[in-house]
Amino acid sequence: METIVLYPSPGMGHLISMVEFGKFILNHHPFFTVAILTVPPSFNTGSTASYIDRVSATNPSITFHHLPSVSLTFDSFSSMEVVIFETLRLSNPNVQRALQEISSTSTITSVIIDFFCTPAFSIFTELGIPTYYFFTSGVCCLDSFLYVPTIHRNTTKSFKDMNSLLDIPGLPPIPSSHMPDPILDRSSAEYAYCLDFFLHLPKSAGVIVNSFESLESKSLKAISEGSCNPDGPTPPVFCVGPLLATERGRTGSMDECLKWLDLQPSQSVVFLCFGSLGLLSGKQLKEIAIGLERSEQRFLWVVRSPPSEDKSKRFLPPPEPDLESLLPSGFLDRTKDRGFVVKSWAPQVEVLRHKSVGGFVTHCGWNSVLEALCAGVPMVAWPLYAEQKFNRVVLVDDLKLALRMNESEDGFVTAEEVESRVRELMDSKEGESVRKRTKEKEAEAKAAMSEGGTSIVALAKLVESWKLPRLTI
């Protein structure tokens, strides 16, 4: 029996897309089995337990190996990224034991890891197992990550202090301050971890990306030509997307908001949602509410509680929001005929595919971007964390698939800005232009995942690369 081992990081956006990749492999190459190593998070990653249960129940060729938890003291860590890297570094002994267990009954053909799992890279390569990265953001971000070591060698400044536009092959000009949050300060622990990942990328057997070729052709060309990694080898890149989760399980809130959408006119509703970890201040939530009310547009809005001011709780899930206290007095009553507010979570894929939804205000997480494109829904880009500001530059300036939400230097967005951008998206020539471009990409995404499409061909090439001599541990 030939087994592909997948090792995702525990974050919802990372784990789900990698599991979907495992399902994608089996749908087209069912002679494999897939073993997935999961690390139990002791921090807020978004809920994945019910999703894993459903995948286990419906996909007998996928097995989950739940690794033991590791102990961390959150007070000593500066960011969620460092917490994740440290959790996975401390899990290395558990990974080794899981590999031995898997290899006792099957041959491990290859291992595919998330970039947060770089601390385990040497475990696999020392055993002679071909090791690939699964990249959960876009090719554009991969392009920049391959180029960062070059920038690192040529300057002593941090990105946050450069105050300049970066000229990275295959990308539009990127403001240095818009590079991903974990690498803005080169003296930080997260920067050191990320730089280690960037340096490991060319050492991998290849990089698998949740994207499709026609979406990011310029970045792909820069990578294949080696221009974003001028001093070393460039790993092969396999675009196998878009991979979207379709098994989330139905909930009461899911039925409720979809029933509300059923009653709305076609493409009349703007959907606002900020990812599994996106939290906004109480002041910002009130400003959004004022802007939505003034816009006179129909809306479906997912509201979460603001981040805790208690530092000991900063990595824990927020409590259920109290809408009456968080939103302006009377807002829910005044907007009840054209607005619907959901607490904490909504079934995003199903919402975006609904015929009533005509726009999406998003944090620019890559999974959310792909879900919008596959539904043909144009976006307003409002980044909050991670690589989302970088994604916005590409989406707005290069791909023309989103409008820009303009914020102040501290990230605050006014009610006037919310009102203007929502109206522009839903009822203007600029919004219509973005809508047309998005519909074109929707068709291209479907073609990529159809028989003979670029993503199916890329998967076949990847599987062919696994047919080299393999090692039984």
In order of their start, the domains of the chain are: 2-241+451-465 (3.40.50.2000), 252-446 (3.40.50.2000)
Are residues 163 and 177 in contact, defined by beta-carbon separation less than 8 angstroms? Answer: yes
Cα gap 146→199, rounded to integer Å? 8
Cα gap 387→453, rounded to integer Å? 28
Does a cis peptide bond (omega within 30 degrees of 0) precede residue 347? no
Cα gap 55→58, rounded to integer Å? 5
Own/partner long-range contacts of 460-466 (Cβ < 8 Å, ≥24 apart): 460/28, 461/238, 462/132, 462/206, 462/208, 462/238, 462/240, 463/25, 463/29, 465/130, 465/205, 465/206, 465/236, 466/4, 466/109, 466/110, 466/130
Q: What is the pLDDT of residue 14?
A: 93
* Residues in CB range of 313: below 8 A, 6 or more apart: none
What global pTM score does this model have? 0.95
Are residues 300 and 272 in contact, defined by beta-carbon separation less than 8 angstroms? Answer: yes
Burial class (CB in 10 A: 0-12, 13-18, 19+), 226: middle
What is the H or E stretch that residue 270 is in? Answer: strand 269-273
Sign (positive or negative) of CA dihedral 257, 412, 142, 79: negative
Written as tens digits, the pLDDT of the chain (473 aa) is 899 999 999 888 899 999 999 999 999 999 999 999 999 876 656 678 889 999 999 999 999 999 999 988 766 777 889 989 999 999 999 999 999 999 999 999 999 999 999 999 999 999 999 999 999 999 999 999 999 999 999 999 999 999 999 999 999 999 999 999 999 999 999 999 999 999 999 999 999 999 999 999 999 999 999 999 887 889 999 999 999 986 554 455 567 999 999 999 999 999 999 987 889 999 999 999 999 999 999 999 999 999 887 766 666 778 899 999 999 999 999 999 999 999 999 999 999 999 999 999 999 999 999 999 999 999 999 999 999 999 999 999 999 999 999 999 899 999 999 999 999 999 999 999 999 999 999 999 999 999 999 999 999 999 999 976 554 44
Are residues 166 and 173 in contact, defined by beta-carbon separation less than 8 angstroms? Answer: yes
In single-letter form, the type of residue at position 206 comes to G
